Structure 1
Amino acid sequence: MVKGKKKSSEPSGRKITLKMAKNALKVTIDGKRRLDLSNMAISTFPKCILKLCDVDELDLSRNLLKKIPDAIDKFVNLRLLDLHSNHLEHLPAAIGRLQNLHNLNLCNNRLTSSSLPHEMGFLRNLRILNLGMNCIDTLPPTVSALKELRELGLFNNLLTQLPKSLQNLPKLQKVNIKSNPIPSDEDPEVDRIQRVESLYLVKEDCLCNDCLKKCREEREKLDSRMSAASTLKKSIFAGLITPNSVAQENQAVWR
């Protein structure tokens, strides 16, 4: 047998060229330059996009990325970094050097508490942080340094108690802690914070069997409620006369 390189069981992913990246450049309604490489089966951070590091927004969501390189700090103008629905197991300390970042979405990855660098606390302008759907059981203490944070997603994690750092975030208005093993007697501590639900669109094959089952059950409940509401609406308006008949009756009176 001829010896050769061992074939990797990991998916190779799609290779992104600089030309492809340039074609993915968009301008948002508010005039921001957005590089949208979402849902392109990328498994390795494309180094070519470092030549486009002057963009304001970078969307690498719904891919197969396991890690982000230290070179992410080259994107000094980034206001939004969307990495949701990847396979991320670790974040580089360099992410703390994105001083202009306002929105960081890390939802639906494989992050643990130990994979969140303390340098995240350097993101002093961060306003929205989504860590939902990971494996986080605690937050790094440096999160309390995010004084501009308004919205925080912690849903579907492994938190057994409310992070004390939440009490040190003066501008925090919305937090989602749903689907964590937190005792109900912990709730009063976040009464001042509005709890919100978040919706993320992902392909079915990106979900595990349990999550897919839950989604289908929720969908059936929603369909049932919508069907009931539609029936009620028809019964309410069934006895009303049409605008044309009202006009005809009024004309008869005027004559």
Structure 2
Amino acid sequence: MSLAARLALCLALAGCASKPVMQDGIQVNDPYEAQNRRVHAFNKEVDRRVIGPIARLVSDKDDASNEPGAMDLVINAGSNLSLPGKIANSLLQGRPEPAIKNFFRFGVNTTLGIGGLLDPAGSDFGLPEHDTDFGETLAVWGVPEGAYLELPVLGPSTQRDAAGKVVDLLIDPLYHLLHRDAAWAAFGLRVASKAGERARFGDTVDSVLQDSADSYAQLRLIYLMHRRHELNEGGTAIDPYAAAGADDAIDPYAE
């Protein structure tokens, strides 16, 4: 049996291991809530003490200029480096069209965009990024989402998406083509890109994580609703970057 088949079987069995409950009209399968809440408390402290202050510092420096700041360049470069993995996932899902568009986007931004620091593919050629990951690939293959998980630093996820994050690292063509040091540098840039996104939506993230009466339950609901909508699994359409205030808030850790 192949690795992918064994992974799918394990996730399928895990997805049937507990009975979901209802939260605000959606099913929530969270048998590990006690452990998840401990991880969530850790993530909040990391964000409050480390990620948030750094993100605000970078954002304040960039706001002083009307030119694209360091934060924007890092976000662009990190996004560009993620495209080969997204191309691979689109092909695994049997969706050649987004794979072809992401391929040309990667080529244009890597060359004309100075290694992805700029985004001429989107601004000049009408080639927006088509986002996907191996968690979506598993969903296309019929693997259930499994139990809800909150991962250290990475934040909200499910068993299916957590497994997908691991496989995304293994199947990313860049990590097989680049020298080890270059591959680690690319990975670091992608991590920095996510920190840049945290800075871009800092006020909203702060409202969800630090000001909510129960930030764990709110973040769980937002993540599941948004992710299920992305995968056409019955979730309600919400804007994850909407202004904070109720349920329309950001998932600060989404890949």
Structure number with larger C-alpha Rg: 1
TM-score (norm 1): 0.20
Judging by fraction of residues, say which structure has more helix.
2
Higher strand share: 1
